[in-house]
Each structure stands twice: as structure tokens, then as C-alpha cells.
Amino acid sequence: MSTFTLPQLPYAYDALEPFIDQETMNIHHQRHHQAYIDNLNAALKASDETSDDLDSILQRISEYSPAVRNNGGGHFNHSLFWETLSPQPKLNPEGKLAEAINSTFGNLENFKAEMKKAGLGQFGSGWVWLLVKFSGSLAIASTPNQDNPMMDIQSVSRGFPILGIDVWEHAYYLAYQNKRADYLDSFWSVLDWSVIERKYEEALLKIK
């Protein structure tokens, strides 16, 4: 039977301050993410699912219950989120990813502006993504709740997410209150582009 566990963070809860505060990190990781994992394990047990490949489950999410969709997405999305953050991040993309961003969005600042626009435009809870579409091109998408572009329920912009910004209020409300725009601006100060570059290369290999 599948049993997923909470990933350990590669940095302390206060390491991302002042951009993401310690209390938010602690609650977000220990309570919210842990709850998604606990509920996902329970939902998969009820469905007699034996696979421990979460990517495969999400790509066939239409075959599963809403509980697997919500909590499986929550586990995947948060795991990606933690991995891409760093107290000592590489602040600009290079190489093939930088070239793809420039050719798709014009330049990095335009890309960030489009991500912010998508983040502010996401009504209620959800995520904003940079993804590699199955065609190999980059795209920006937003999804509600804990959905993501990998899920087969998406009608547009399906692909492999390589960067996700959590715009649920629990991700930022203690420090930013209702100022989602300020949170979206601060996010880039702790995003490690070296991780996004690696995930871009991995995504390209998956679609070959």
C-alpha cells in the first residue's frame, strides 16, 4: 500500500525571512502539508491503490476520488514548492531555460509580470505555474485549490509544472494579510532558479 511521508525541508523555518516568515513556514509545512499527506494516505487506502508513484496517479486523476485529487495535489504541489525555495537562491535563470523564457515572454521581467497577473487573477485559493507543455514550450497557468497542470482533468495548458507559487492565503496571510501582490513580489527573492533549470531539463526528457 502507498504510504507518503512529509519531506524534510533543506533549511530552517526561519531561513527565508523576511520574505516568508518563520511562523507561516512552520504552520504551512507541519500542519497544512502534513494534513494533505495524512488524508492522501487514507484516501488511497480506501481505493486499494498500490502505486507509490504520485506523478502517475496525478496523470490519471480522473480515475480517482475527489479526496485523492485534492490531497494528492496538495502533497505534490507543496513538495515542489519547498524544493524550489532557498535562503541563498540563484536569482536569475541561465542557459536553455533563460533562452526559453526570453523567447516565450520577451524577458525575465515580463515573465514575472505575467506570473503576478495570473496570481492576482486566481480567484480564491489556488496556484500559479510555469510549466513545460507536452509540445515542449513554456506556458503560465493558474489552477484552483490543489489542482496542477499534470492532472488529466485539465483542458488547457497540460504539462509538467516546474515552478509553482502557492496563492492560498495560508501561504502568506500572517505576514502580508490581504496584500497578495506584495507576497508575489517577494517570492522571487527566495526562488532558486538552479532548481527550476534542472526541472526544465527533466521535463524536456520526459516529453521526448
In the chain, the N- to C-terminal Cα span, in Å, equals 31
Q: Annotated binding residue at 33? A: no
- The Cα–Cα gap between 189 and 112 comes to 12
Q: Annotated binding residue at 170? A: yes
Q: Annotated binding residue at 166? A: yes
Cβ atoms of 6 and 160 within 8 Å: the answer is no
Three-state secondary structure call for residue 80: helix
- The Cα–Cα gap between 148 and 76 comes to 9
Q: Which helix (H) or strand (E) covers residue 159, if one does?
A: strand 159-166
- The Cα–Cα gap between 189 and 185 comes to 8
- The Cα–Cα gap between 47 and 65 comes to 8
- The Cα–Cα gap between 125 and 127 comes to 7
How far CA 127 is from CA of 7, 79, 116, 165, 166, in Å, comes to: 20, 13, 11, 6, 5
Q: Annotated binding residue at 29? A: no
- Residues flagged as binding site: 28, 78, 166, 170
- Residues flagged as binding site for Mn(2+): 28, 78, 166, 170
